[in-house]
A = this chain, B = another copy of it.
C-alpha cells in the first residue's frame, strides 16, 4: 500500500513534469489529484527537489528501456531503428495532445534553479543516450548504411541537441511535424 502510494506520486509527477517542469509544478494540487496527504509525501521524499530527482531517474530508466528496445532491434537497418524510436515518441506525444515533452529537456531548461546535483545527473543521462545512438550509428558504418565521413559521437550529440529542440517545437505546433523534419535532415547528414 505504501509502495503503491509512492508509485502513484511518481506516475502523477511524471505526467506533470513532462508537461511543465519542476518549478511550475505545485505540490499541493499534485497531492490533491492523487488523494495523498502532505505527511505521506514527506515519508517517501525529503523535499520537492528530491521528488524531482527521483522522477528524473525514473524517466531516464524509461527512456533507456525504450531506446534499447528500438536501437538494438537487429531485424531492422539502423536508420529504421532510429525512425522507429522517433515514431514511437511522436505517437506518445500525440496521445497527450503534444502537451507532454521530455522531462530531461524540461529540467535542463530549469537547471540554473535546481540543486547542484541535477546538472551532473542530466549530463550523465544525455551521455548514456548519446552512447546508445552512437553505438547504433557505428553499426550503420559497418554495414555501409551510414557515411564513414562522420564522427559517430559528434553525430550522436547532434542527434540529442536537435531532438530536444524538435520535442519543444512539437509542443508549440501541437503536431509531429518538427520531429519528422528533424529526422529528414538528420538522415541527410548521416547518408551524406
Complex CA–CA separation, A189 to B191 (angstroms): 10
Q: Are B158 and A161 in contact (CB under 8 A)?
A: no
Interface size on A, as a range, is: 35 or more
Question: Would you call A113 an interface residue if the criterion is a C-beta within 8 Å of the partner chain's C-beta atoms?
Answer: yes
Question: What number of copies of this chain does the assembly contain?
Answer: 2
Complex CA–CA separation, A26 to B142 (angstroms): 53
Complex CA–CA separation, A176 to B30 (angstroms): 37
Residue of B nearest to A154 (CB): B181
**Chain B nearest CB, measured from A178 CB (Å):** 5
Tell me the A1-30 residues at the B interface (CB within 8 Å): 19-21, 23-24
A residues touching B (Cβ–Cβ < 8 Å)?
Answer: 19-21, 23-24, 99, 101, 105-106, 108-113, 119, 122-123, 126, 150, 154-155, 157-158, 160-166, 168-169, 171-173, 178, 181-182, 184-185, 188-189, 192
